[in-house]
């Protein structure tokens, strides 16, 4: 199993955890509202799901040991800890990827070497570190990641504009709010499977990608040309 944290604002900044944790905890909790009803007492009403929390505990070793290290060269423990602290202080989400397949991580994993089991956006909210006696140079850590939910804020002006549009006295065409499709420029060595896995998180969606771009690619989905611009599924 490989665990990767990737900075969305800096594609080259990623951290592959060198030692797998003994376990990964996932906390799922329903949000409830408790109401007291006369002659009945307290009653709980489910009002939604709380943000999911993912807990990871392991350590950064100071020296490579093939019995438990996933790759080499290892990141310096203090450098890795500083990066985690920077991410915790940031307000921007990270991409958390947990793979179910062993990858060759000698020179850091390439995207086409990863079989993604979990691929979610998270906020790193807790980072605790521990130094243990008798293990000089090793740094232990505990991470808590909360799944990211992006929301849009509607202003009063937006609400007033919406009411005006919907009123019978001021009917006019609605603004097109369909999302603008993302374009991907084919690079040398790319395949539809690799592009689907990297951009959509699931290589098996290559057929969907092909059908959307059949007129650009042509009759053979296995032949794509560097420089072609493919429309990504929304």
Q: Is the N-terminal amide bond of 73 cis, ω within 30° of 0?
A: yes
Give the predicted TM-score (pTM) of the model: 0.55
Instruction: Assign residue 212 the CATH number of its domain.
Output: 3.10.350.10
Verify that 18 and 124 share a domain, yes or no: yes
Verify that 135 and 209 share a domain, yes or no: no
Verify that 116 and 194 share a domain, yes or no: no
Verify that 96 and 16 share a domain, yes or no: yes
**Residue located via tokens 């790759």:** 71
The CB-side HSE value for 225 (13 A sphere, CA atoms) comes to 6
Give dist(CA 201, CA 115) in Å, integer.
9
Give dist(CA 95, CA 118) in Å, integer.
10
Q: Is residue 141 part of a domain?
A: yes
Instruction: Give the largest CA-CA distance in the chain.
Output: 79
Verify that 143 and 215 share a domain, yes or no: no
Verify that 142 and 198 share a domain, yes or no: no
Verify that 28 and 95 share a domain, yes or no: yes
Give dist(CA 176, CA 108) in Å, integer.
43
The CB-side HSE value for 47 (13 A sphere, CA atoms) comes to 8
Verify that 124 and 197 share a domain, yes or no: no
| Contact of 83 with 12, CB cutoff 8 Å | no
Rg of the chain on CA atoms, in Å: 24
Q: What angle do CA 42, 48, 54 make, to 5 degrees?
A: 115
The terminus-to-terminus CA distance of the chain in angstroms comes to 30
With a cut of 70, which residues of the chain have pLDDT below it? 11-12, 100-116, 152-180
- The whole domain housing 207 covers 181-234
Verify that 142 and 203 share a domain, yes or no: no
Give a three-class secondary structure readout of the chain: CEEEEEECCCCCCEEECCECCCCEEEECCEEEEEEEECCCEEEEEEEEECCCEEEEEEEECCCCCCCCECCCCCCCHHHHHHHHHHHHHCCCCEEEEEECCCCCCCCCCCHHHCCEEEEEEEEEEEEEEECCCCCCCCEEEEEEEEECCCCCCCCHHHHHHHHHHHCHHHCCCCCCCCCCCCEEECCCCCCHHHHHHHHHCCHHHHHHHHHHCHHHHCCCCCCCCCCCEEECCC
The pLDDT value recorded for residue 104 is 43
């Amino acid at each position: 199993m490989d665990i990767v944290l990737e900075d969305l604002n800096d594609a080259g900044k990623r951290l592959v955890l060198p030692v797998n944790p003994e376990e990964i905890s996932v906390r799922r909790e329903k949000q409830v509202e408790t109401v007291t009803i006369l002659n009945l007492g307290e009653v709980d009403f489910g009002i939604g799901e709380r943000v999911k929390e993912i807990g990871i505990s392991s350590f950064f070793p100071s020296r490579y040991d093939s019995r438990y290290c996933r790759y080499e060269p290892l990141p310096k423990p203090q450098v890795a800890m500083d990066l985690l602290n920077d991410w915790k202080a940031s307000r921007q989400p990270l991409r958390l990827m947990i793979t179910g397949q062993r990858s060759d991580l000698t020179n850091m994993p390439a995207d086409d070497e990863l079989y993604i089991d979990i691929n979610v956006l998270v906020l790193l909210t807790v980072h605790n570190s521990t130094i243990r006696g008798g293990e000089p140079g090793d740094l232990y850590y505990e991470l808590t990641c909360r799944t990211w939910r992006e929301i849009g804020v509607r202003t009063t002006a937006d609400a007033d504009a919406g009411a005006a549009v919907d009123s019978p006295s001021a009917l006019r065409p609605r603004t097109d709010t369909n999302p603008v499709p993302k374009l991907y420029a084919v690079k040398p060595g790319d395949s539809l499977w690799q592009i689907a896995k990297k951009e959509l998180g699931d290589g098996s969606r290559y057929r969907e990608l092909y059908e959307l771009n059949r007129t650009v690619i042509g009759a053979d989905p296995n032949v794509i040309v560097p420089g072609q611009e493919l429309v990504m599924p929304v």
